[in-house]
């Protein structure tokens, strides 16, 4: 049986293709990803609302399929609804499951706190109004967003089609516009980003968190996996420290 150590359930906001690929690049043998395709095809509020309504059904299905933990992606859902909505989502869904459940926005915030990021630079593939929502959300959660910028993508397929260096280049540019930041957050698990994380950490000497990394990290943390994962940034290395 594949996934003999753990099966991670992931509710993608859209296709989840980049996260699936990055999961298997980072994880050793024995881990399996159960991915559910979401409802967002365009970065528009009506598509985001469809995904909000879909999460509960998808979470229950993933548990019935054998997942040990479920993480729901699509942080624009919670930035649209505002700070606190991520807690409401978990409070609504967790009682209907017997396995741990969390949202991607919580994973991203917990990951940044773990590596000591409070003053943050945020790079996204999104348009300006979505970036402003993300900044408001993080500021309300106790972070200080010093700089935020995006590529202006309108369709999810545009995000996955970006060159693997695009996230690294944008994040580096934004960081050096606000070098007093504690670190960098590269947002969106459909944006190819993991290759640039260790490189950018070396260049700026500070931690870098990307969404796919944060989602996988929190899932493993919630099911008490202790694993040596090196070469993919400081956050993943902290899994070895867990009791």
Domains contained in the chain, CATH given: 6-103+213-241 (3.40.50.12500), 108-211 (3.40.50.1860)
Q: Which residue has the tokens 């970065």?
A: 43
- pLDDT by residue (tens digit) across 143-191? 999 999 999 998 878 898 999 999 999 999 999 999 999 999 999 999 9
Band of the pLDDT at 239, cuts 50, 70, 90?
A: very high
Within a 13 Å sphere around the CA of 92, how many CA atoms are in the beta-carbon half? 14
Band of the pLDDT at 83, cuts 50, 70, 90?
A: very high
Alpha-carbon distance of 52 to 48, in angstroms, equals 6
Enumerate the H helices of the chain as residue ranges.
Answer: 17-26, 45-65, 75-81, 85-93, 104-114, 128-140, 156-160, 166-177, 196-204, 211-222, 234-237
Nearest to 106 by CA among 86, 83, 89: 86
Instruction: Determine the longest span between alpha carbons in the chain, in angstroms.
Output: 49
Residue 118 scores a pLDDT above 80: yes
The predicted pLDDT at position 75 comes to 87
Alpha-carbon distance of 63 to 101, in angstroms, equals 10
What is the mean predicted confidence (pLDDT) over 220-240? 95
Partners of residue 33 on adjacent β-strands: 8
- Could you give the 3-state DSSP secondary structure of residue 149? strand
In the chain, the percentage of residues whose pLDDT exceeds 90 is 80
Does the reported pTM lie above 0.85? yes
How distant is the alpha carbon of residue 151 from its chain centre? 17
Residue 41 scores a pLDDT above 80: no
């Amino acid at each position: 049986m594949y996934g003999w150590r753990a099966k991670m359930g992931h509710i993608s906001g859209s296709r989840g293709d980049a996260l699936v690929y990055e999961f298997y690049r980072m994880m050793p043998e024995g881990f399996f990803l159960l991915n559910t395709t979401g409802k967002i095809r365009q970065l528009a509020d009506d598509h985001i609302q469809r995904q909000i309504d879909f999460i509960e059904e998808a979470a229950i299905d993933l548990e019935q399929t054998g997942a040990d933990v479920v993480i729901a992606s699509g942080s624009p859902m919670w930035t649209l609804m505002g700070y606190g909505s991520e807690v409401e989502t978990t409070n609504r869904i967790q009682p209907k499951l017997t396995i741990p459940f969390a949202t991607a926005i919580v994973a991203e915030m917990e990951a940044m706190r773990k590596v000591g990021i409070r003053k943050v630079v945020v790079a996204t593939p999104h348009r300006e109004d979505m970036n402003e929502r993300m900044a408001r959300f993080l500021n309300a959660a106790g972070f200080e967003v010093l700089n935020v910028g995006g590529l202006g993508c309108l369709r999810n397929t545009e995000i996955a089609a970006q060159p693997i260096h695009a996230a690294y280049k944008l994040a580096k540019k934004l960081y050096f516009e606000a070098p007093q930041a504690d670190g960098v957050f590269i947002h969106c698990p459909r944006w190819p980003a993991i290759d640039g994380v260790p490189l950018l950490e070396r260049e700026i000497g500070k931690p870098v968190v990307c969404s796919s990394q944060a989602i996988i990290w929190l899932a493993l943390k919630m099911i008490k996996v202790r694993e040596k994962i090196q070469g993919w940034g400081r956050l993943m290395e902290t899994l070895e420290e867990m009791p």
